[in-house]
Amino acid sequence: MAFVITAPCKDEKAGECVDVCPVDCIEEGKDQFYIDPDICIDCGACEAVCPVDAIYHEDDMLDEDIPYLQKAKEFFER
Query: Minimal distance in Å, beta carbon 38 to ligand SF4?
Result: 11
Query: Minimal distance in Å, beta carbon 6 to ligand SF4?
Result: 13
Contact set for ligand SF4, span 17-76 (CB under 6 A) = 20-21, 23, 25-26, 35, 40-46
Burial of 76 (0-12, 13-18, 19+ CB in 10 A): middle
**DSSP state, residue 59:** G
Residue 27: strand pairing partners? 34
Query: Minimal distance in Å, beta carbon 41 to ligand SF4?
Result: 5
Residue 57: strand pairing partners? 3
Chain residues that interact with ligand SF4, rule: CB under 6 A: 3, 20-21, 23, 25-26, 35, 40-46
